Amino acid sequence: MKSKVLLIYTGGTIGMMQDAKTGQLKPFDFKHLTEQIPELNKFDVTLSAVSFEKPIDSSDMHPAIWLEIAKMIEKNYSKVDGFVILHGSDTMSFTASALSFMLENLNKPVILTGSQLPIGTIRTDGKENLITAIEIAAAKKAGKPIVSEVCIYFEYQLYRGNRTHKYNAEHFQAFQSANYPVLAEAGVHLKYNTSALAKSNGKKLKVHTSLNPNIAILKVFPGITENVVNAILNSKNTNAIILETFGSGNATTQKWFIDALKRSIDKGMIIYNVTQCNAGAVEQGKYATSAAFNKIGIIGGNDITTEAAVAKLMFVLGNSKNKKDAEKMLKTNLRGEISS
């Protein structure tokens, strides 16, 4: 039996081509995908494709669109063996993280990919990215999918989506997963890192559709003023804040700063401490500069990326009973987004 893969085209550079007259990049008609990539006809995979009516640059990505994608996956879940989502690379890590939380008990591959150069250009990285992403989405061993989680495939590497960060705006190798090993590498052979792949639990897919976007990010820097901190902490309707700290979770020890954070926490705000570093983890209390955080009730984010923290906070706020429950969920490894 041939594997069936559904391509979901949301937009981004990969699906653009140069308009012959204006020279501008515009989305091409996805019905003509195989004209652009005739290699797809040689695949031993049954491919179908759906395209967003209005493909977007991923800088316009939004939780409402994550919902649309999750619903497309739910609608087609029993019909296909895997999904490939074509997406702009700019916010791909956020979307991959959000989908990982929204799709509980995922037992099939959901592979996001894109490219730095449009698919119609001669040096495009899009062809390889798309072809291998399809191969991964179709791959089975003993009748079961090899991958059963939300991933990003880019430039010969498969990553756990909620561990990724776009770190390069120029290189074809645009993503990194500093705190979790690569899940597969494509060379002459496609080599899976079996021990790092999520194990499917065999339970029925549960799609969570409630996300609460009332969050903010407060990135500290030397010299940050009380004004700025208070403006963010007191911004209307904000329920939770990611505090992006130095190194292993440190920030200034000035009294006004700790007092401002404590006041917000006492009023019900969740403050989630995530490091500004690309790799490593928050360890509150390791240095004196983070000791107060434990006392006032800041939640340490461990080794979570900011992208996954944004998605996790929106998910947790939308799916918890109360603050205590939300804080417990934040500390728990829900989808492989933090090290246990």
Q: Rule CB under 6 A: which residues touch ligand ASP?
A: 11-13, 57-59, 88-90, 114, 116
Report, in angstroms and rounded to the nearest whole number, the Rg of the chain calculated over CA atoms: 21
Residue whose beta carbon is closest to ligand ASP: 88
Catalytic residue among 13, 91, 132, 305: 13
Classify residue 190 by burial, with Cβ atoms within 10 Å: 0-12, 13-18, 19+. Answer: middle
Between 116 and 290, name the residue whose CB sits nearer to ligand ASP. 116
308: left (phi over 0), alpha (psi -120 to 50) or beta: alpha
Cα distance between residue 255 and residue 248, in whole Å: 20
Type of residue found at 314 = M
Supply the minimum distance, in Å, between the C-beta of residue 270 and ligand ASP. 29
Nearer to ligand ASP (CB atom), residue 13 or residue 148 = 13
Nearest approach in angstroms of CB 35 to ligand ASP is 21
DSSP for residue 298:
P
Question: CA-CA distance, 331 to 302, in Å (whole number)?
Answer: 8
Residue number with CB closer to ligand ASP (303 or 307): 307
Give the shortest CB-16-to-ligand ASP separation in angstroms. Answer: 8
CB 240 within 8 Å of CB 271: yes
Based on CB atoms, which residue is closest to ligand ASP, 89 or 148? 89
**Site of tokens 């798309």:** 130
Q: Which is nearer to ligand ASP, 87 or 108 (CB)?
A: 87
Closer residue to ligand ASP (CB): 171 or 331: 171
Least distance in Å: CB of 89 to ligand ASP? 3
CB of 58 to ligand ASP, least distance (A): 3
Q: 270 in helix, strand or coil?
A: strand
Element (H, E) at 229: helix 226-233
CB 122, min distance to ligand ASP, A: 18
Cβ atoms within 10 Å of 128's Cβ, excluding its own: 18
Separation of alpha carbons 148 and 82, rounded Å: 9
Q: Does the annotation mark 13 as catalytic?
A: yes
Structure tokens at 130: 């798309």
**Among 329, 340, 306, which Cα is nearest to 101's?**
329
User: Looking at the annotation, which residues are catalytic?
Assistant: 13
